[in-house]
Amino acid sequence: MEDTLTAPSMKSSASRPRLNKYALACAILASTNSILLGYDIGVMSGAVLYIKDVFKISSVQEEVLVGALNVFSLIGSLAAGKTSDLIGRRYTIILAAATFFIGALLMGLAPSFPFLMAGRVVAGIGVGYALMVAPVYTAELSPAMTRGFLTSFPEVFITFGILLGYIFNYALSSLPPHINWRLMLGIAAVPAVSIALGVLTMPESPRWLVMKGKLDEARRVLRKTSQNEEEADLRLQEITKASSVVTTSPNSSPGSSNANLDGRGVWKELLMPSKPLRRILLAAIGINFFMQASGNDAVVYYTPEVFRAAGIRNRKGLVGVTVIMGIAKTSFVFVSALFLDQFGRRPLLLLGSIGMTISLAGLGLGSKFLEHATHKPIWAIALCVIAVCADVSFFSIGLGPITWVYSSEIFPTRLRAQGTSLAVSVNRLVSGVVSMTFLSMSRKISFGGMFFVLAGIMVLATIFFYLFLPETKGKSLEEIGALFEDKDDQNNSRIREMSDR
């Protein structure tokens, strides 16, 4: 049995896997929701310059405004796990787009600062739903040998959205201040409608269909997303077997199978985990924590503030520098996506985290020099620009795409939605805290000091990734669980399999 199930992986590793066009189309549609978060991150970095003038807000209010979307996306992330288990992955993606649509309209039409904050809250909940469900859906639909590439799409679209935000900032910055920021924020409602309509054409996740006992529907989806019927039947066999394990799970009580497959009782298992599940939780929560503790979102949000301190005063010049950064970030996320299944998760993750450490240290040095310089030398400003571009580029190579891939593929089927929901909630909470404290802390210890702190965090992140994240390249979702088991557990599983035969 074991040899049969691993045959496709062995065969595929000998030659470059062929990309299934149907799976590709579904992954693109599912991940387009991520454009909305990326666009908000990019556009808010410029819009906030004008919002400060119109509403006369303080620096603390600016931090709250910027970070509110990330903090309240925590609600969407937590709710998305249960929601997607109940109504399916596909309809949860539509719900995410609809919620963001309402939030974008509220922000674009806001007559006051509290009204604008309300829009940020609603949009944040929509973002939370999207960030959790898109990687889960794509991971569950994708063949093992191209899963890394397809599941990295959310980060590809986030990065593309950031670049779009920067471009719209630059294009609309010449308009009157009481109009430009409204267009910058409100225009995001348009793609939200298109995304919701597009997702209606997608199939449901085959693993969710198996959880609901809809095996014929699951088989039809798997045949469309596999190279041939034999591979589809093997994938269905693995998924069905993994789902049936619930009845013999050590943590399951008699008669709890249906509850687990419906998503009930999952939180109890997550809060009182077995040893393998504890390792999975550590890996998923750890990578999501370091993704945001790296300060990437804050660096993107506050790049204009950083460069203003570096000596670039012209507003159009500030926005123009962010466009350069967005192009660098977008270019490298495509590089990572293309090579993720060839080189694996660990090498790119470690390369990215080491590169971010060096880039942030360089940014800290450049910023420190400019703080104490009477005249702002061009070379120091250039160093800061290059270091920021390098930082976001290395993020796009490693932590950016791989966080979504890794945290969506390592949980067992019955725990995947709500386990990923928990990990992404940590992601959103840390992102909000960093975004809402970045300016205040930078004013106390300077931008240079802040970048040195972030470089230190990335040193810790590199050590964590090396020690606790095993390679998952080329393995089916059902095989990945064995990576987190003790050798004794693996031997016992093999003995059980032999006895079942």
In angstroms, rounded to a whole number, what is the distance separating the alpha carbons of residues 371 and 310? 8
What residues does each domain of the chain span?
19-202+263-500
User: What integer pLDDT is reported at residue 311 of this predicted model?
Assistant: 65
Q: How many CB atoms lie within 10 A of CB 117?
A: 18
Q: Give the three-class secondary structure for 88.
A: coil
User: What integer pLDDT is reported at residue 313 of this predicted model?
Assistant: 66
Taking each helix axis from N to C terminus, what angle separates 113-141 and 89-108, rounded to the nearest 10 degrees? 160
Which of 70-74, 370-374, 430-434 shows the lowest per-residue confidence on average (mean pLDDT)? 370-374
User: What integer pLDDT is reported at residue 208 of this predicted model?
Assistant: 93
DSSP letter at 144 equals G
- Radius of gyration over alpha carbons of the chain, in Å? 23
Interval 231-274: pLDDT, tens: 899 989 888 887 765 434 444 443 444 444 455 577 788 888 88
Q: Is the pLDDT of residue 496 over 60?
A: no
Closest C-alpha among 185, 159, 205 to residue 49: 185
In angstroms, rounded to a whole number, what is the distance separating the alpha carbons of residues 288 and 180? 34
Interval 337-350: pLDDT, tens: 888 888 999 999 99
User: What integer pLDDT is reported at residue 6 of this predicted model?
Assistant: 40
One-letter amino acid at 345 equals: R
Interval 275-333: pLDDT, tens: 999 999 999 999 999 999 999 888 877 777 777 776 666 666 666 777 788 888 888 98
User: What integer pLDDT is reported at residue 113 of this predicted model?
Assistant: 92
Q: Give the three-class secondary structure for 85.
A: helix
Interval 199-229: pLDDT, tens: 888 999 999 999 888 999 999 999 999 988 8
User: What integer pLDDT is reported at residue 247 of this predicted model?
Assistant: 38
Say which residue, 191 or 262, is predicted with more confidence.
191
User: What integer pLDDT is reported at residue 312 of this predicted model?
Assistant: 65
Q: Is the pLDDT of residue 12 over 70?
A: no
Q: How many helices (H) and strands (E) does the chain have?
A: 25, 0
Per-residue pLDDT band for 7 (boundaries 50, 70, 90) equals very low
The burial of 215, by beta-carbon neighbours within 10 Å (0-12 exposed, 13-18 middle, 19 or more buried), is given as: middle
Per-residue pLDDT band for 41 (boundaries 50, 70, 90) equals confident
User: What integer pLDDT is reported at residue 250 of this predicted model?
Assistant: 43
Per-residue pLDDT band for 474 (boundaries 50, 70, 90) equals confident
User: What integer pLDDT is reported at residue 57 of this predicted model?
Assistant: 86
Most confident of 157-171, 249-263, 453-467: 453-467
Write down the pTM of the prediction: 0.77
Q: Is the pLDDT of residue 166 over 90?
A: no
**Under 8 Å between Cβ of 226 and 214:** no
In angstroms, rounded to a whole number, what is the distance separating the alpha carbons of residues 187 and 448? 35
User: What integer pLDDT is reported at residue 320 of this predicted model?
Assistant: 72
Per-residue pLDDT band for 86 (boundaries 50, 70, 90) equals very high
Task: Give residues with Cβ within 8 angstroms of 253, minimum separation 6.
Answer: none
- CATH assignment, 19-202+263-500: 1.20.1250.20
In angstroms, rounded to a whole number, what is the distance separating the alpha carbons of residues 126 and 191? 13
Q: How many CA atoms lie within 13 A of 266 on its CB side?
A: 24
pLDDT (average), residues 21-49: 87
